[in-house]
């Protein structure tokens, strides 16, 4: 036997036995429970209040550590290696380098430009913000993947935040111009853009739909969502005007405002019901397009799965006065994990570590733009 | 040195690939020895990193170790061996270690947040006055004009008000000069039903068509205008700009997300803002009453104006002075002082009434006032 002082010098190389590392079909499961996540959500909110919300970076990290560690792929848990301080530094840097100059420019434009010039500048501001949202999504994902390891090997995201930001902006404009009809196509293209440049170790993900993914009723479900959404919207406006609520609201009648909110609730539920079929279909379409290192992914998620989790999540958040938000997100994650299938054969010993350790800090821009998700 | 009878085993991921090997483990006082695949590795104890503990903190299902010199490497050990590792490095495996570190972090963050809070809630408001006074008047006037042009996209100026403005100009100039406002006043009516008047930075003053409808006579109208002129004089608009910019920007940037904590901090900030707004309103009232008295106008006209505005204002509107809120079922509730944008209306009316003195002069003839009164007749 050779004794060396540290693991890196051990020089094990591919010492594992191939027979032991080749695996057929990986079962994905999450066994998180609500209690611990409610507790994390509760103390993150309470401590957030006393720390000017800064504790959220550490709370989010603890949430992810727990959620990742309770999610297993082939009985082996994921590991989240990010730190609260990295998120905090990311936020500070984003504030200083992007948010402050952007907001400063907007304020300066408001103050020093006349109405005509400012009206011209407003669309530009929106374009910049949508570009920044795209770039922020990319950067957050790069950080996210670099801090996710499985069997000691990191995930990674390659590509350019600027390019992704510009593509997001372009697809968004196209979606607006087509009254939303380019939306599903744009969403799949953007997903492909991200996933085709994502890696597990040195293995790149591939984005190509299999036959089942191609059969998903993405546009049929979108048509139902679109028509249903328009019908609900028109019905809502008609009801507000026919009951004379608009005039009562303008005169400050709080009762009328209450009625409108009471109407918005069923309208929102109806729109959500019209949306879930599409959401399930596009999730199956995107997931069914993914493969990596000989494994093909697919999702068995259904509209009913989404409806039941969404409704109970809304109730969870309401009845916990918002403290249950993280627990609600855990339930959504759990649903996606438990409906995920990974089929094929993989030889783990052939998956080499990714050399990219990712950024030293992360998600700052996403946090600044209020789009940072807990997972 | 510990010598367990049956040495623990583990799964070792070396961090170069995703495969693992099973290893026998020997825990020593100086470190951990891993044996497997006919090789051996030694992890010095001082380099151990407890990456994660799966399951209960004191009786985990499994735990993961790494070493500082090789952060990608992972050793997965069954939780039944937790006690043996804890005996070798009680400090690292102390189940309360995480809680203590978190407590230290929270204390540090609370301290830093208190400093930040002091800067945002007290420092910035305190600095807003000197900053406003240090701002060049030309710059403030330019800002005010730009803000007006943008506001007028939403609040349209009344169509046929030129004659009324021409009639008003001498009276406004007289009040502005007497009040030492320090800015040329640019006044206009806007077509908005809610009775209100407001002053922007740099001498921009607007009154709504609703105010013209609400006030009973020109004394009431000029009392309201005197109040607004003193906002201009004291550069309250500029102060509010700096205060809102600093506090709003600070809060927006510091408190990301939309969680419960953010809502709480934002609410606290709004309450702080309201306190400053009330103070500005008190100052403007006090100066307005003095100005009216000095110009031979009746200060009590301000009280009558408040009553007239309140009678016309939609309930719950700003012009209602935020005093009462009507809930469904016509239930009227009084809004607490600290939640109001303006001081208590009864106090303001009483203060104005206390200085009542018959007017010795009129700023406009009845005919001119009638013309002004119809400035927004065509929308």
CB nearest to A52's CB, from B18, B102, B255 = B255
* Whole-number Å distance between alpha carbons of B366 and A38: 70
Backbone Cα Rg of chain A? 24
Percentage, residues of chain A above pLDDT 70: 92
Q: For residue A344, which phi and psi values (nearest 5 degrees)?
A: 125, -170
- Mutate which of B259, B309, B318 to test chain A, going by most A C-beta atoms within 10 A? B259
Residue with tokens 């994902």: A141
Q: C-alpha angle B160/B162/B166, rounded to 5°?
A: 150
* Averaged pLDDT of chain A: 88
DSSP string, B147-191: HHHHHHHHSPBPTT-HHHHHHHHHHHHHHHHHTT--S--EEEEE-
The answer to whether residues B195 and B208 touch, using CB atoms and an 8 Å cutoff, is yes
pLDDT band at B365 (very low <50, low <70, confident <90, very high): very high
The answer to whether residues A370 and A137 touch, using CB atoms and an 8 Å cutoff, is no
Task: Give the best-scoring range by mean pLDDT among A281-285, B150-154, B240-244.
Answer: A281-285
State the DSSP H helix or E strand holding residue B367, giving kind and residue range, or none if neither.
helix B366-373
More reliable by pLDDT, A261 or A112? A261
Structure tokens at A124: 């530009």
pLDDT band at B77 (very low <50, low <70, confident <90, very high): very high
User: Which pLDDT does position B340 carry in this prediction?
Assistant: 60
CB proximity under 8 Å: A 153-212 to B: 153-154, 201
User: Which pLDDT does position B335 carry in this prediction?
Assistant: 56
Which residues, including other chains, have CB under 8 Å from residue A318's CB and lie 6 or more apart?
none
CB nearest to A51's CB, from B21, B51, B106 = B106
Which residues, including other chains, have CB under 8 Å from residue B98's CB and lie 6 or more apart?
B57
Percentage, residues of chain B above pLDDT 90: 52
Q: A221: distance to nearest CA of chain B, Å?
A: 30
Inter-chain residue contact A56 with B259, CB threshold 8 Å: yes
pLDDT band at A52 (very low <50, low <70, confident <90, very high): confident
Q: How far is CA A374 from CA A62, A121, A355, B265, in A?
A: 10, 34, 26, 20
Q: A92: distance to nearest CA of chain B, Å?
A: 9
User: Which pLDDT does position B337 carry in this prediction?
Assistant: 59
Structure tokens at A246: 């608009």
User: Which pLDDT does position B97 carry in this prediction?
Assistant: 87
Task: Return the SS3 of B24.
Answer: strand
Q: B116: distance to nearest CA of chain A, Å?
A: 8
pLDDT band at B256 (very low <50, low <70, confident <90, very high): low
Q: A220: distance to nearest CA of chain B, Å?
A: 34
Mean pLDDT calculated for residue range A195-212: 96
Name chain B contacts of A119, Cβ cutoff 8 Å.
Answer: 153
Q: B132: distance to nearest CA of chain A, Å?
A: 15
The answer to whether residues B229 and B237 touch, using CB atoms and an 8 Å cutoff, is no
pLDDT band at A257 (very low <50, low <70, confident <90, very high): confident
Per-residue pLDDT at A4 exceeds 70: no
CB nearest to A113's CB, from B34, B110, B146 = B146
Least confident of A141-155, A213-227, A310-324: A310-324
Which residues, including other chains, have CB under 8 Å from residue B325's CB and lie 6 or more apart?
A254, B315, B316, B332, B333, B335
Percentage, residues of chain A above pLDDT 90: 66
More reliable by pLDDT, B362 or A13? B362
- Mutate which of B15, B19, B138 to test chain A, going by most A C-beta atoms within 10 A? B19
User: Which pLDDT does position A265 carry in this prediction?
Assistant: 84
Sign (positive or negative) of CA dihedral B190, B191, B197, B200: negative
Sketch out chain B's domains with CATH numbers: 9-93 (2.30.29), 111-373 (no CATH)
pLDDT in tens, B291-314: 999 999 999 999 999 888 888 755
CB nearest to B52's CB, from A15, A56, A69 = A69
CB proximity under 8 Å: A 103-142 to B: 103, 107, 110-116, 118-119
Per-residue pLDDT at B157 exceeds 50: yes
The answer to whether residues A142 and A359 touch, using CB atoms and an 8 Å cutoff, is yes
* Averaged pLDDT of chain B: 85
Q: For residue B25, which phi and psi values (nearest 5 degrees)?
A: -115, 140
- Which residues make beta-bridge pairs with A27? A341
Name chain A contacts of B72, Cβ cutoff 8 Å.
Answer: 149, 152, 154, 353
- Mutate which of A152, A370, A374 to test chain B, going by most B C-beta atoms within 10 A? A152
B262: nearest CA partner in chain A: A53
User: Which pLDDT does position B319 carry in this prediction?
Assistant: 43
Task: Return the SS3 of A216.
Answer: coil
- Mutate which of B21, B55, B64, B109 to test chain A, going by most A C-beta atoms within 10 A? B109
> What pTM does this model have?
0.79
Mean pLDDT calculated for residue range A6-22: 42
User: Which pLDDT does position A278 carry in this prediction?
Assistant: 96
State the DSSP H helix or E strand holding residue A234, giving kind and residue range, or none if neither.
helix A218-242
What is the strand order of the sheet B21-27 is part of?
A: A3-4, B39-44, B31-36, B21-27, B9-13, B70-78, B60-67, B48-55
Q: B61: distance to nearest CA of chain A, Å?
A: 11
Burial class (CB in 10 A: 0-12, 13-18, 19+), A91: buried
pLDDT in tens, A79-133: 999 999 999 999 889 888 888 888 888 778 777 776 677 777 878 888 998 999 9
Inter-chain residue contact B260 with A322, CB threshold 8 Å: yes
* Whole-number Å distance between alpha carbons of A31 and A333: 11
User: Which pLDDT does position A372 carry in this prediction?
Assistant: 72
Inter-chain residue contact B72 with A48, CB threshold 8 Å: no
- Which residues make beta-bridge pairs with B265? none
User: Which pLDDT does position A103 carry in this prediction?
Assistant: 80
* Whole-number Å distance between alpha carbons of A126 and A274: 29
Mean pLDDT calculated for residue range A7-25: 47
Which residues, including other chains, have CB under 8 Å from residue A25's CB and lie 6 or more apart?
A342, A343, A344
pLDDT in tens, B121-151: 889 888 999 999 999 999 899 889 888 888 8
- Mutate which of A54, A64, A66, A154 to test chain B, going by most B C-beta atoms within 10 A? A54
Mean pLDDT calculated for residue range B69-93: 93
Mean pLDDT calculated for residue range A184-190: 97
User: Which pLDDT does position A2 carry in this prediction?
Assistant: 35
Least confident of A230-234, B3-7, B46-50: B3-7
Per-residue pLDDT at A338 exceeds 60: yes
Domain locations in chain A? 95-146+153-207+355-375, 209-275
CB proximity under 8 Å: A 295-324 to B: 321-323
* Whole-number Å distance between alpha carbons of A230 and B210: 37
Measure CA of the first residue to CA of the last residue in chain A; give whole Å.
44
A10: nearest CA partner in chain B: B41
Structure tokens at A250: 């303008």
* Whole-number Å distance between alpha carbons of B202 and B184: 8
Q: A322: distance to nearest CA of chain B, Å?
A: 6
pLDDT band at A19 (very low <50, low <70, confident <90, very high): very low
pLDDT band at A258 (very low <50, low <70, confident <90, very high): confident
Name chain B contacts of A368, Cβ cutoff 8 Å.
Answer: 253, 256
Per-residue pLDDT at B318 exceeds 60: no
Name chain B contacts of A372, Cβ cutoff 8 Å.
Answer: 256-257
CB nearest to A91's CB, from B44, B256, B326 = B256
pLDDT in tens, B322-344: 455 555 555 555 555 555 666 67
CB nearest to B150's CB, from A4, A110, A255 = A110
User: Which pLDDT does position A12 carry in this prediction?
Assistant: 38
Percentage, residues of chain B above pLDDT 70: 86
Q: How big is the A-B interface in CB pairs under 8 Å?
A: 231
* Whole-number Å distance between alpha carbons of A159 and A198: 9
CB nearest to B17's CB, from A5, A44, A349 = A349
Inter-chain residue contact A16 with B326, CB threshold 8 Å: no
What is the CB-side half-sphere exposure of residue B302 using CA atoms within 13 A? 35
Q: For residue A127, which phi and psi values (nearest 5 degrees)?
A: -60, -45
């Amino acid at each position: 036997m050779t004794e060396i002082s540290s693991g890196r010098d051990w020089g094990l190389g591919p010492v594992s036995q191939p027979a032991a590392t080749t695996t057929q079909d990986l079962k994905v499961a999450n066994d998180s429970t609500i209690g611990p996540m409610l507790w994390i959500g509760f103390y993150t909110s309470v401590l957030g209040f006393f720390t000017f919300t800064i504790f959220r970076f550490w709370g989010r990290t603890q949430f992810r550590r727990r959620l990742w560690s309770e999610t297993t792929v082939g009985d082996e848990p994921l590991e989240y290696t990010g730190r609260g301080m990295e998120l905090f530094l990311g936020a500070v840097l984003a504030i200083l380098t992007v948010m402050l100059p952007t907001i400063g420019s907007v304020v300066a434009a408001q103050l020093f430009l006349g109405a005509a010039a400012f009206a011209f500048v407003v669309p530009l501001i929106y374009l910049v913000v949508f570009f920044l949202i795209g770039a922020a999504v990319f950067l957050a994902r790069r950080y996210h993947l670099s801090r996710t390891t499985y069997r000691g090997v990191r995930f990674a995201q390659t590509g350019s935040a600027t390019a992704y930001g510009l593509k997001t902006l372009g697809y968004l404009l196209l979606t607006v111009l087509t009254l939303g009809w380019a939306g599903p196509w744009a969403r799949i293209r953007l997903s492909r853009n991200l996933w085709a440049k994502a890696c597990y170790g040195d293995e790149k993900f591939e984005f190509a739909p299999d036959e089942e993914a191609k059969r998903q009723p993405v546009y049929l479900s979108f048509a139902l969502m679109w028509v249903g959404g328009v019908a609900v919207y028109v019905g809502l406006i008609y009801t507000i005007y026919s009951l004379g609520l608009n005039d009562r609201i303008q005169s400050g009648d709080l009762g009328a405002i209450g009625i409108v909110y009471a109407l918005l609730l069923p309208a929102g539920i109806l729109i959500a019901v019209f949306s879930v079929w599409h959401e399930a279909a596009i999730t199956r379409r995107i997931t069914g397009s993914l493969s990596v290192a000989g494994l093909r992914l697919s999702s068995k998620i259904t509209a009913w799965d989404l409806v039941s989790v969404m409704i109970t999540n809304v109730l969870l958040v309401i009845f916990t006065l918002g403290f249950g938000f993280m627990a609600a997100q855990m339930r959504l994650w759990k649903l996606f994990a438990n409906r995920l299938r990974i089929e094929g054969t993989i030889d783990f010993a052939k998956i080499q570590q990714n050399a990219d350790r990712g950024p030293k800090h992360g998600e700052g821009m996403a946090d600044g733009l209020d789009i940072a998700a807990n997972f | 040195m510990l010598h367990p009878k049956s040495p623990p085993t583990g799964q070792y991921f070396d961090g170069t690939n995703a495969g693992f090997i099973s290893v026998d483990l020997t825990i020593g006082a100086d470190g951990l020895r891993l044996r497997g695949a006919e090789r051996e590795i030694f992890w010095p104890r001082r380099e151990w990193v407890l990456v994660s503990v799966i399951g209960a903190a004191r009786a985990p299902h499994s735990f993961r170790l790494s070493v500082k010199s090789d952060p990608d490497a992972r050793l997965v050990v069954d939780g039944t061996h937790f006690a043996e590792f804890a005996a070798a490095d009680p400090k690292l495996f102390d189940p309360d270690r995480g809680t203590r570190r978190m407590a230290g972090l929270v204390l540090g963050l609370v301290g830093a947040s208190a400093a930040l809070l002091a800067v945002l809630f007290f420092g910035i408001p305190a600095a807003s006055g000197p900053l406003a006074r240090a701002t060049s008047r030309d710059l403030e006037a330019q800002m005010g004009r730009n803000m007006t042009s943008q506001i007028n996209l939403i609040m349209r100026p009344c169509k046929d008000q030129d004659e009324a403005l021409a009639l008003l100009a001498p009276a406004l100039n007289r009040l502005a000069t007497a009040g030492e406002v320090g800015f040329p006043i640019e006044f206009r009516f806007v077509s908005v039903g809610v009775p209100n008047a407001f002053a922007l930075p740099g001498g921009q003053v607007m009154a709504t068509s609703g105010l013209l409808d609400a006030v009973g006579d020109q004394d009431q109208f000029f009392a309201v205008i005197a109040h607004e002129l003193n906002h201009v004089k004291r550069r309250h608009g500029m102060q509010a700009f700096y205060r809102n910019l600093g506090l709003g920007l600070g809060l927006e940037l510091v408190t990301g997300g939309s969680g419960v904590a953010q809502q709480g901090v934002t609410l606290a900030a709004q309450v702080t803002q309201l306190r400053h707004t009330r103070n500005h309103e008190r100052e403007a009232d006090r100066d307005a009453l003095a100005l009216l008295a000095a110009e031979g106008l009746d200060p009590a006209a301000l009280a009558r104006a408040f009553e007239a505005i309140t009678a016309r204002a939609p309930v719950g509107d700003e012009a209602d002075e935020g005093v009462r809120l009507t809930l469904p079922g016509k239930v009227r509730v009084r809004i607490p002082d600290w939640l109001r944008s303006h001081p208590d209306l009864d106090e303001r009316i009483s203060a104005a009434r206390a200085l009542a003195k018959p007017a010795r002069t009129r700023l406009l003839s009845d005919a001119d006032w009638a013309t002004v009164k119809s400035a927004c007749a065509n929308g």
